[in-house]
Structure formats: structure tokens, C-alpha cells
Amino acid sequence: MSFNAIIVAAGSGTRSGGPKQWRSLAGKPVVRWSVETFLAAGATSVVVAIPEGGSADINAALQGLTGWTAVIGGSERAESVRRGLTQIEPGLPVLVHDAARPLVLPTHVETLLAAIKDADAAAPALAVADTLKSADEGIVRGTVDRRGLWRVQTPQAFSPGVLQSAFEQWDGQEAPTDDLAVVEAIGGRIRLVAGDPRLLKLTFPEDFAMAEAVVGNRTTTRVGTGFDVHAFGPGSAVWLCGVEIAHTHGLVGHSDADVGLHALTDAVLGAIGDGDIGDHFPPTDPQWKGAASDRFLAHAAGLVTARGGRIVHVDVTLICEQPKVKFHRQAMRARIADVLGLQLDAVSVKATTTEGLGFTGRSEGIAAQAVATIVTPA
């Protein structure tokens, strides 16, 4: 069944320490999880309500995705939903979802769409299992009967036109805390379906740790390797792993001939099965003549992000007699960490010789091999 989706992502995230919709969860922005799910489930349109000034953030978070649009949300959640409703395709059901619940699945969408075949609206809900107490300043005043109480989650689904009509008739003095309340007010028939603990809402900082643990079961680890060689030629310096080192010779290559970054770029591309550096930056293309190789590495890292993945560790081994790498290792690690957005302890740079054997042993050039480990959605 075709449907529209509105994702509310216009909040400031005060309680979670900042705008949570842009924060990373298992290597990709929180808002991207929901957008990808709705698109995969067959959404005709996905509208994301964002805060004022959030255009750059949403474009970065959803880089590489199509089929979505953004709308500036309001100061209240209900106003964000109202504005989203103006952007959807008429005549179709609409699902409204909180970006702060990133672990929605296509199966949730299917269940909700089936539930509104004989109802005006539907939502997943969990029965309240814990004992409820009323309290005043930390002192218990009584026990609340939990029978018939439910914890309602999102996404919430609405039959075509129902939510629009309900908002037109809404005259409540206070903003509704969810969209079901607006349909309740006009006497709509609302069905609750089985909720899912995985639809947890990211409200407090500790919620992210719990979500990371859940997501850990929905990712896969990939490893790519790379190897590159460049010969010595005229020059007074070489570029290695993004650092310029004075030397008696330069390295010959179409770009800056940074053998370390070339090997690492191939390793990252290999981990996502996307060809090699020559496919993306052909040596026959004059625009790459003398180019800094950190551009190549940044491009490969961007492709990983666009696939919802993240780089977790890289390891480069430089093979040469000269120059001596030891004194420059920390600068190399720092440069790679900066390009890839990694912590320093996730970057390793080593050097070795071939004990005088082969072309590197004869100081005819430098070789490098690299390994990149990434995590992607399963």
C-alpha cells in the first residue's frame, strides 16, 4: 500500500545534550534511520520537519538519498506536523513518526497500514508493566491503577484525510502531545497494535547507549585492503599519509603520489565493494594532476557514510628504506584521523623495510599496504 510519511525532527534535544536528530547512531545520523526505513517500505513521499536553520544538517544527514523533502517545523510538535501535512500527496494514508525513535522497521509500517483498514488511526503501544506511584517532591502519595494503561509509541498511522480534518477541527487550549489526541477529539476510531521495545525514544544521553546495543545486532563488519607503489623521481620532498617530508627525491605520480593515502583509499573502497582509486580518480583526467590525496580518502569516506556505514579502524604500513618514518608517525596518524573523523587510537601507521631486497630495498621507490575496517547496516 502506498503511503506518506512525516518525520518530526524539529526539536532542540535539550534533555539529550543537543539536537539528537543529527547525532550519530552506529555511524549514521539518527534521522537517517527512519527516512531509510520509510523509503524501503515504499513511501510515496517522506517529509522531514526540521528546525529553522537546519537545511545544511538535513542535507548532510541524508546525503545520497532521494524521495524526501524538508519543511521548517514549528515551535510545537503539532505545528510541525501541520506543516508536514501541506507537503504530502493527497488521498493516501499518512504515518507520523518521531525522528527520536530511529529503530522503526518496515514490519512496523506494514502492521499499521493493515490496522487502519477498519480504523481512522492506529499506533503501536506497550502495556504498562511497572507499578505506578504518584509522588510529590519525591514522597509517595499513592499507587496508581495501571490496568488499561498503555505506553503509546510512533509511528502513528492515519487513514487518508483523517489527520488533516482532525487538525482543522482542533480547538484544544493546549498543544497535543501526540497526533492520536487530535483524532480522539473528533471521536475517531483508533486501534492500538502490539508495540515494540526497540521503538525506544532517545530522550536522555543514556538512551543512546541502549540504542547502540540494539543496533549492534543489525550491523555487519567489513574489511578492505589496499596496496600501492610509487617510484622515486626528481624532487626535494615526499608526501606520506598526508604529511610532507623533506627528502633527496620526490615520488612520481599523477597526483601528489602519496602512496600511503592511495593504499588506504583503496582499502576503504574495497570494504564497500566500490572499485578502486583509479575508477574514481582516473590518472588520465587532468583535473587530478598534482591533487592532494587526502581528497581521495575523504571521497571514499563519504561513500561509506552515504551507505549508512562508518569507518572504525584503519592501519597503514609503509615499506621503504628512506625516508625514516618514525619521526613523522604521529603527524601522519593525526592527519588521517582528521580526514576520516576518527579518534587517534583508531588510526595506525607503521613502517618496515625489506632488508635491502627488491625495489624498495634498492631505494627505487616506496610501497604501502593498508587495511580498513568498517561497520555497515546488515
Cell of 86: 501541506
18: left (phi over 0), alpha (psi -120 to 50) or beta: left
Q: What is the pLDDT of residue 220?
A: 85
> Cα-flanking dihedrals φ and ψ of residue 367, to 5°?
-115, 160
What are the average pLDDT values for consecutive 10-residue runs of the chain, which has 378 residues? 94 66 86 93 96 94 92 93 94 97 93 97 96 94 94 97 94 84 95 94 89 77 96 96 96 94 98 94 88 95 84 97 94 96 94 95 97 88
Query: What is d(CA 71, CA 9) in angstroms, rounded to the nearest whole number?
Result: 10
In degrees, rounded to 5, the angle at the alpha carbon of residue 249 between the alpha carbons of residues 244 and 251 is 65
DSSP 89: P
**For residues 242, 245, 249 and 251, what is the CA-based torsion angle, rounded to 10 degrees?**
-10
Residues 6 or more apart whose CB falls under 8 angstroms from that of 323 comprise 238, 240, 245, 246, 247
Domains of the chain (ranges plus CATH)? 3-203 (3.90.550.10), 219-377 (3.30.1330.50)
CA distances from 268 to 107, 220, 307, 367 (A): 32, 15, 13, 17
pTM value > 0.85: no
Assign 177 to helix, strand or coil: coil
pLDDT of residue 17: 55
Distances (CA, A) of 87 to 44, 45, 69, 128, 257: 12, 9, 8, 36, 49
* pLDDT (0 to 100) of residue 13: 59
DSSP string spanning 119-142? SSEEEEEEE--S-EEEEETTEEEE
Cβ pair 58, 26 in contact under 8 A:
no
